[in-house]
Amino acid sequence: MKSPSQENKIEKPQNLALVIFGATGDLTYRKLIPAVYDLFNQKMLPEKFYILAIGRKELSNDSFRKKMINGIRKFSESIYQNDEQIEAFVSYLSYFRMDFQDATEYQRLRDALQNCDITNGTQSNYLFYLSLPPSLFGPIAGFLGQVGLNDETHGFSRLIIEKPFGYDLESGRALNNQLHEDFIESQIYRIDHYLGKETVQNLLVMRFANGIFEPLWNRNYIDHIEVTSAESIGVEGRGGYYDGSGALRDMLQNHLLQMVCLTAMEPPSSMAADSIRNEIFKVLQSLKPIREDEVNTHVIRGQYVASHVRGEAITGYREEKDVDPESRTETYVAMKFFIDNWRWGGVPFYIRTGKRLPTRVTEVVVHFKPTPHGLFQGDKACRSCNQLIIRIQPDEGILLKFAMKNPGAGFDVKTVNMDFHYSDLSHEHLPSAYERLIYDAMIGDSTLYARADAVEAAWKFVEPVQKVWASDPDQKIHGYPAGTWGPENADDLVSNGDSSGWRYPCKNLADDGNYCEL
């Protein structure tokens, strides 16, 4: 019989080389290297590993390592801040200069990796992370294939790519086809950092490890479901990129639909990657298509305009650097849709995302149906009392809202909160999203990565909206003052009889009403 310590033993990855393309960029500095360093401190890396950091700039090993040390000290977990450990970790880093778009350079890369196998024992196991613009994904995959770095005869070869996975259905399919010319689907890891968040994964545990939820998780007891992903910041100097993307492509098509899938999916047959990803794909297949003539009534798009927030003047989107002064790119989008299956038939789903909203928050809200007959004074004020809120960020946790009697004579009813905060687990390490996802790719677990068919199904769902917005210049884009919850008519989207409407969340999970801390 295994001891508890043996049961909980962390799976060690095989010896490998992590190859980061675009290693001089901000993502590597702020996220990737600090995440791998945290894995190093938890002894979750293989016994023999190496990091080959690839960039175009002329840098020495020492100068690159110094930069990464600064990134580790700024962005890794404070509990792991140890000079000796940091020095030990960066000794596994080497900088490799090459032109990503020059096919002749890849033989030199292969030679470097083969030498790494000999000197560092990485055993021909390669994890390629493309921290680069999406236009380079296909070409680099092809160049790797040309020199045999996609071959898994003597070890594994895996490819991690960042979103966006295309810009519409056609380009998404084209990218998948291009990648599949040299890598099979099991070698491709499409990373969505939202799925690496602990509370997103906890959706699965909360639903399928607790018998109290599953009997209620259907059209008989749930009135509607709401998903919000709000940002308080603007485009932050990325106006050129964002103006060609917008909220629909940048957030809704991937992050929000993935959270909908985890909320709505059927129980998988096991926790194997394919079992879970099959159920996610089934949800995407079951999304009721929004016809082009329904776009106006089912989708609201907005764009933030100049405003004053807490005494500070905030620039409007069209005045941001590198943004077209006549831009019609949406910084806010809200959508109403349905899932056509037995579990969810007739239950509306509402999702929204935007920039320059009052606070940064991501959460799923399950609105349960009210009682069929109101017995108590204050029942109408309690239409929103039966809510389950799963907070993804910040103040990660779970909040249940329900009705209780006010002290005193009579049966006056008010809403009360029962909440759990992840911060209460002070003795537990809360891994970053990249920490979890990089580790999963190392051990070959693709559960939290997007599959090709799911990516295309998501693009297919938003395609009618993209077509209408692109083809009709008279389609409305509603202005909303920076620091507010988006266009006023977004509230009309959720008018659902006695429905409680959108929830307006606070920075702190359990705060409500006048006590909201933004």
Tell me: pLDDT of 143 over 50: yes
Task: Tell me the mean pLDDT in the region 58-78.
Answer: 91
Domain co-membership, 349 together with 456? yes
- What is the pLDDT confidence band of residue 514, given thresholds at 50, 70 and 90? very low
Specify whether 208 is located in the same domain as 141: no
Structural domain boundaries, residue 215:
195-369+429-508
**191 vs 507, residue with greater confidence:** 191
Confidence of residue 399 (pLDDT cuts 50, 70, 90): confident
Mean pLDDT of 506-511: 72
Give the CA angle between residues 383, 385, 386 to the nearest 5°.
105
Q: Choose between 404 and 106: higher pLDDT.
A: 106
Mean pLDDT for the stretch of residues 185-209: 87
517 is a domain residue? no
Distance, CA of 401 to CA of 419 (rounded, Å): 9
Residue 479 included in any domain: yes
Same domain? For 340 and 484 the reply is: yes
Based on the residue annotation, tell me whether 224 is a catalytic residue of this protein: no
Q: What is the pLDDT of residue 301?
A: 95
Higher pLDDT, 236 or 510: 236
State pTM to two decimals. 0.90
What span, in angstroms and rounded, lies between the C-alpha atoms of 385 and 503?
11
Which pLDDT score is estimated for 409? 64
Residue 401 has pLDDT above 80, yes or no: yes
The pLDDT value recorded for residue 9 is 60
Indicate if 112 and 258 belong to the same structural domain. no
Q: Per-residue confidence at 169, pLDDT binned at 50, 70, 90?
A: very high
Helix (H, G, I), strand (E, B) or coil at 417: strand
Q: pLDDT confidence of 381, banded at 50, 70, 90?
A: low
On the 0-12 / 13-18 / 19+ scale of CB atoms within 10 A, 205 is exposed
- For the purposes of burial, counting CB atoms within 10 Å of the CB of 134, is it exposed (0-12), middle (13-18) or buried (19 or more)? middle
Identify whether the C-beta of residue 399 lies closer than 8 Å to the C-beta of residue 418.
yes
Query: CA 347 to CA 468: how far, in whole Å?
Result: 25
Shared domain for 90 and 143, answered yes or no, is: yes
Name the band, by pLDDT with cuts 50, 70 and 90, for residue 450.
Answer: very high
The answer to whether residues 215 and 322 belong to one domain is yes
Q: Are residues 440 and 311 in the same domain?
A: yes
In a domain, 389, yes or no: no
323: CATH? 3.30.360.10
For residues 98 and 108, is the Cβ–Cβ distance under 8 A? yes
Helix axis angle for 433-443 and 33-41, nearest 10°, is: 70
CATH number at residue 135: 3.40.50.720
pLDDT at res. 5? 38
- Domain-embedded: residue 338: yes
Picking from 87-91, 108-112, 270-274, which range would have the lowest pLDDT averaged per residue?
270-274
- Segment among 129-138, 157-166, 391-400, 426-435 with least mean pLDDT: 426-435
Q: pLDDT tier at 410 (50, 70, 90 boundaries)?
A: low
In angstroms, what CA-CA distances link 252 with 246, 271, 332, 465? 10, 26, 10, 12
As a whole number, mean pLDDT of residues 87-116 equals 95
Helical (H) or strand (E) element with 20: strand 16-21
Q: At what angle do helices 198-208 and 257-264 cross, to 10 degrees?
A: 20
Chain-centre distance of CA 394, in angstroms? 14
- State pLDDT tens for residues 315-364: 999 999 999 999 999 999 999 999 999 999 999 999 999 999 999 999 99
Query: Is residue 200 a contact partner of residue 391, using CB atoms and an 8 Å limit?
Result: no
In-domain check, residue 213: yes
For residue 84, tell me if it sits in a domain.
Answer: yes
pLDDT, residue 309, reads 85
Could you tell me which residues come within 8 angstroms of residue 169 by beta carbon, excluding any fewer than 6 positions away?
Answer: 456, 459, 460, 463
Average pLDDT score over residue span 463-479: 91
Q: Span 27-49, mean pLDDT? A: 94
- Would you place residue 4 in the very low, low, confident or very high pLDDT band (cuts 50, 70, 90)? very low
Q: Which residue did the predictor score with more confidence, 417 or 454?
A: 454
Q: Which residue shows structure tokens 């479901």?
A: 225
Res 506: pLDDT: 77
Pair (126, 243) in one structural domain: no
Write down the mean pLDDT value for the chain.
88
Q: Where are the beta strands (DSSP E) in 192-277?
A: 222-230
**Residue 382 confidence class, pLDDT cut points 50, 70, 90:** low
CA-angle at 338, arms to 336 and 344, nearest 5° = 135
Return the SS3 of 111: helix
- Report yes or no: 303 and 330 within 8 Å, Cβ to Cβ: yes
Residue written as tokens 């639909």?
257
Please give the span between the terminal C-alpha atoms of the chain, in angstroms, as a whole number.
Answer: 51
* 258 within 8 A of 450, measured Cβ to Cβ: yes
* Same-domain pairing of 297 and 445: yes
Higher-pLDDT residue of 299 and 199 is 299
- Chain-centre distance for alpha carbon 37: 22
pLDDT tens for residues 302-317?
A: 999 999 888 889 999 9
DSSP 412: B
Q: Are residues 26 and 67 in the same domain?
A: yes
Catalytic residue among 154, 180, 193, 255: 255
Alpha carbons 464 and 212: distance in angstroms, whole number: 38
Place of tokens 């016994």: 47
- For residue 167, pLDDT beyond 60: yes
Tell whether the model's pLDDT for residue 379 goes beyond 70: no
Predicted confidence at residue 499, as pLDDT, reads: 54
| pLDDT-derived band at 1, boundaries 50, 70, 90 | very low
Q: Is 152 within a domain?
A: yes
Lowest mean pLDDT of 267-271, 297-301, 352-356, 379-383, name the range.
Answer: 379-383
Examine the fold and report which residue of 162, 186, 214 is the final residue of a domain before the chain moves on.
Answer: 162
Structural domains counted in the chain:
2
Instruction: Indicate the residue among 162, 183, 215 that finishes a domain.
Output: 162
Predicted pLDDT of residue 513: 52
Can you give the C-alpha Rg of the chain in angstroms? Answer: 24
**Domain match, 32 and 152 both:** yes
Residue 274 lies inside a defined structural domain of this protein: yes
CA–CA distances in Å: residue 173 to residues 165, 190, 282, 296, 451:
9, 14, 18, 27, 12
Residues 146 and 215 in one domain: no
**Residue 49 pLDDT exceeds 50:** yes
**Last residue in a domain, options 141, 162, 183:** 162
